[in-house]
Structure 1
Amino acid sequence: MSASDRACDPSVRKTAADILLKVDVRRAYGDVLLHHALDGAGLSDRDRGLLTELVYGTLRWRGRLDAELKTLTRRPLENTDPFLRNLLRLSLYQLRFLDKIPAYAIINEAVGLAKARARAGGFVNAVLRRAVRDKWELPLPDPKATSAAAFAEYWSHPAWLVEKWFEMFGAEEAIALLKANNQPAPLVLRANALKGTTEELIHLFRSNGIEALPTPRSPRGIFLQSRSPVGRLPGFDSGRFQVQGEASQLVAFLLGPQPGERVLDACAAPGGKTTHIAEMMGDIGEVTAADISTTGLKKIAENAERLGLSSIKTLAADFDKPLPPAMKEAYHRVLVDAPCSGLGTLRSHPEIKWQRSEKDIARLAGLQRRILSRAASLLDAGGVLVYSTCTLTREENESVITDFLARHQGFVLDEAAEYLPEQAKSMARGRYFLALPHRHNTDGFFAARMRKVT
């Protein structure tokens, strides 16, 4: 952070504390609350950046912050007033991670907020001054001598998840994943192939003073360095691009849609993959975007119109229930981007790691099995079925596919590497597609491509 952050709008830290409170108590999504705040606050670019840093940084490091706060307070953290608990987390994050903001400024503003909201200025003042005085540090654990729980505290992840990843990936790779999850995710766009090349769009951004680079594995992807809202970027209104992560872009390549085909995106919202499929088909054919969320379907329709895509039709459907008559026809290709725990997206959704539990994993795995089976029933003979998630648990990924293939003898598993772009073939792990934040600088993604042979 720059020295100018010292003179930020005083509403920034209040807004950050309010967002953190809602995430904590209401289990709300931090990015949604943050976007609403940024849209309506009229903040400068500097203050927009600070607000984003405060919210995401505090959520990323909440586990380590809580570990220190337990040593600083004389009351259990879970019994502390929720606003004060999150105000302390926010303030301690600034003290430990943002070295350009003076401690006195952090403490004074926190005390003022505590007095106004909870009449606890003295308590907050004492805790934060103790934090400045004690200079608490958590030593980096030795992977050969400590348990996964020690890494959970140091890298700010729940212990159950760290233990799961240690078992899945081994200590070295799991630690690299934990570290990567605490880094900000880059802004990635997908160039609309129907309205120009990736290179032309990069040139448009650069000519407007915006730093843009091609992504290394998706031929349509662009890394963008910009603090401006996406809707104000050149080319947005004319449909030149769609926001979509690089790993997510590669799922449509696995599906391999062709012009003139009938394609089903069974869990389509928010629609990044749907619109990519239509673009790859040259907007020739029919793409059915089905989802349980009518709000999500409305967003898909809006994006399709902005991108100039007429082959997409939306349909409300719950794949955990009997399907509507409109979906009885056979499709050439079906994508099931299943609802999942989202544990591959912790760089951009850090609150998820504090909101999920092991019970959620088991519940979601059951839902995913049912959705995949029902969607597969709509596939024509010889058709392609792709299952994908943005999570990194074996129960929601490999185990779902193993169970599906055992129950559906007419399907075979393809080699993912054969269908990925040349520069992305290294993202195959075994016969699956597996994107990892620490290896590929993407969200964590899993996908399997299957064919119906009988």
Structure 2
Amino acid sequence: MATLSPARTAAADVLSNVRRRGARTREVLRGSAPVARLTPADRALATRLALGPVRALGTIDALLDAHLRRGHLEPRVRDALRVSAFELLWLATPVPVALSQGVELARRAAPRSAGLANALLHRVAEEDAPALADARGRVEGRSCTASDIAFVAALPSWLADRLVVSLGTEGACRMALSAMEPPGAYVASNARLHDDAEAERLLSAAGLVPRATCLPGCLALSSAAGLAASGLVDAADVVPADMAAQVVAWLSSPAPSTRMLEVGQGRGTKSLLLESCALRRGGLARLSSAESEAFKVAVSRARMGRAGLGTAVTCTAFDGRLLGGRDLPPDLAGTFDSALVDAPCSGTGTLRRHPEIAWSLKEPAVRAGDQSLPALQLALLRAASQRVGAGGTLAYATCSELREEDEDIVAAFLATPEGARFSLVSPLATAAFAALPDEAQRLVATMLGPDGMLRTSRADGASAPLDGHFLAILVREA
């Protein structure tokens, strides 16, 4: 009988807690005492073995169920098998280790399940793992079907189909091949409180091994482990944000001393990034931010205070769809030099960072319809556009890879009465792009499509795959 590794035990317990509580995996990981007691190496493995099975949930369950000849799996046994199936399919764990650990995890959950677990995991190893390797080979050779992409990336078939349509075969294949890798760890230094060198020193002192990137203020970390405990995020010394999000913020950023409207503030991450970018371009802007959820507004307002931006950024609870009306809150009234609609979206560009999305997202949510995300996105864009002054810029951004939420929304907006006053311009023609150093300009240029719109997942030259963010820049006629 094999000795169970503490990392696998902790990961299986996290999965059981996620299932019972309906909670986010990262939240359960952060609150797990057994995970906290692990060595750094084991903590990293436990994190991988908790997030990975959630990301691949539907694919793993379908394979297990296909091998289950009769009866059903007890929930805790299924949790244990999900961990080991993930190892067998997407990690380089030696097969005997994954098999023996999986059997012991199942035995721990239900002693009589060991034989069944052994049989199921052997079928995964002998049948499914070679099939996955074959599919991956076809994806690497770009001679694949959407079904191959769905298998390699552990996606529902409908979502794989939509990604092929949205990104093309090449883009969907690139996404699939990196889909199960851990996300990169990046932070932005808060230019209001520190210059980049000081931020690097603070991160180094916390043992986080920062590395400067070509993008101003963007620092890559060897690992995000220890970032929360360092206190640097709570104090707003640094802002956790993928390099892709920082690129979008830079290209959308306001010129110093101008007035900017931000729609969809959330918890204030983009607000911090926008003002840091403005500072690096010469000085703070006057940022007026709207967010429909009051509790997020409270979080943002407190965060702006800690970041030294309490007087530069206003945070208002307001439904952005009403921005085209009258009797607006004072901070949202009048005209603005620029606006950013950071639209609520499916999050399909952040699947590696938010593993629950892939199997919780339903197709109707991203199809055109009165209650769909595209309907909300278009309404926000139309309303915000009415606050942009003559000659001003309007940026539309999502963290989605689906054209229904991206290019199609821009096209639909331009066909409206409000959109008729705007023209699409290349992000590479903006003053913000011109302010980037040469190496960053070269990287950003690889993200631009022939339609003049930007997808960060196209990046060629980044040290690691970036999250998938979309950006379109429009200018109002003078």
Which residue is equivalent to 1:149?
Answer: 147
Which residue is equivalent to 2:466?
Answer: 442
- 1:453 lines up with 2:464 in the alignment: no
**Cα distance in 1 for residues equivalent to 2:28 and 2:321:** 29
> Does structure 1 retain, via aligned residues, the 8 Å contact 2:166–2:401?
no
Q: How much does 1:279 deviate?
A: 2.8
- Against the structure 1 CA distance between its residues 47 and 146, is the aligned structure 2 distance closer, same or farther, given a 3 Å change threshold? closer
Which residue is equivalent to 1:409?
Answer: 420
Which residue is equivalent to 2:218?
Answer: 221
Which residue is equivalent to 2:78?
Answer: 85
Q: Which structure 1 segments of 5+ residues have no match?
A: none
- Against the structure 1 CA distance between its residues 233 and 418, is the aligned structure 2 distance closer, same or farther, given a 3 Å change threshold? farther
- Against the structure 1 CA distance between its residues 240 and 395, is the aligned structure 2 distance closer, same or farther, given a 3 Å change threshold? same
Q: How much does 1:201 deviate?
A: 2.5
- Of 406, 422, 429 in structure 2, the residue corresponding to residue 418 of structure 1 is 429
Q: How much does 1:49 deviate?
A: 1.7
SS in structure 1 at match of 2:267? coil
**Cα distance in 2 for residues equivalent to 1:302 and 1:110:** 46
- 1:144-178 deviation digits (Å, cap 9, x = unpaired): 76531133123312212222222333333321211
Aligned-pair identity in percent equals 25
Q: How is 1:157-176 mapped onto 2 (pairs within 5 angstroms)?
A: 157-176=155-174
> Does structure 1 retain, via aligned residues, the 8 Å contact 2:448–2:458?
no
- Which segment drifts farther, 134-143 or 251-260? 134-143
In the comparison of the two structures, how many residue pairs are matched?
A: 441
- 1:325 lines up with 2:328 in the alignment: yes
Which residue is equivalent to 2:360?
Answer: 355
Query: TM-score under structure 1 normalisation?
Result: 0.86
Which residue is equivalent to 1:246?
Answer: 243
- Of 328, 341, 361 in structure 2, the residue corresponding to residue 336 of structure 1 is 341
**Cα distance in 2 for residues equivalent to 1:438 and 1:114:** 47
SS in structure 2 at match of 1:427? coil
- Which segment drifts farther, 221-230 or 335-344? 221-230
SS in structure 2 at match of 1:448? strand
**Cα distance in 2 for residues equivalent to 1:378 and 1:371:** 11
- Against the structure 1 CA distance between its residues 146 and 204, is the aligned structure 2 distance closer, same or farther, given a 3 Å change threshold? closer
- Against the structure 1 CA distance between its residues 102 and 31, is the aligned structure 2 distance closer, same or farther, given a 3 Å change threshold? closer
Which residue is equivalent to 1:210?
Answer: 208
- Against the structure 1 CA distance between its residues 44 and 151, is the aligned structure 2 distance closer, same or farther, given a 3 Å change threshold? same
- Against the structure 1 CA distance between its residues 346 and 378, is the aligned structure 2 distance closer, same or farther, given a 3 Å change threshold? same
- Of 232, 235, 238 in structure 1, the residue corresponding to residue 229 of structure 2 is 232
**Cα distance in 2 for residues equivalent to 1:436 and 1:188:** 16
SS in structure 2 at match of 1:288? strand
Cα RMSD, aligned residues only: 3.1
Which residue is equivalent to 2:177?
Answer: 179
**Cα distance in 2 for residues equivalent to 1:176 and 1:302:** 39
- 1:355-412 deviation digits (Å, cap 9, x = unpaired): 1232111211111001111111222222221100001111111111111112121111
- Of 87, 108, 111 in structure 2, the residue corresponding to residue 112 of structure 1 is 108
> Does structure 1 retain, via aligned residues, the 8 Å contact 2:6–2:38?
no
SS in structure 1 at match of 2:93? coil
Which residue is equivalent to 2:448?
Answer: 428
AA partner of residue 51 (structure 1): A
SS in structure 1 at match of 2:350? coil
**Cα distance in 2 for residues equivalent to 1:214 and 1:397:** 30
SS in structure 2 at match of 1:231? helix
- 1:415-443 deviation digits (Å, cap 9, x = unpaired): 11123234223322231121007744211
> Does structure 1 retain, via aligned residues, the 8 Å contact 2:256–2:285?
yes
Which residue is equivalent to 2:291?
Answer: 291
- Of 60, 64, 74 in structure 1, the residue corresponding to residue 55 of structure 2 is 60
Q: How is 1:7-18 mapped onto 2 (pairs within 5 angstroms)?
A: 7-8=5-6, 12-18=10-16
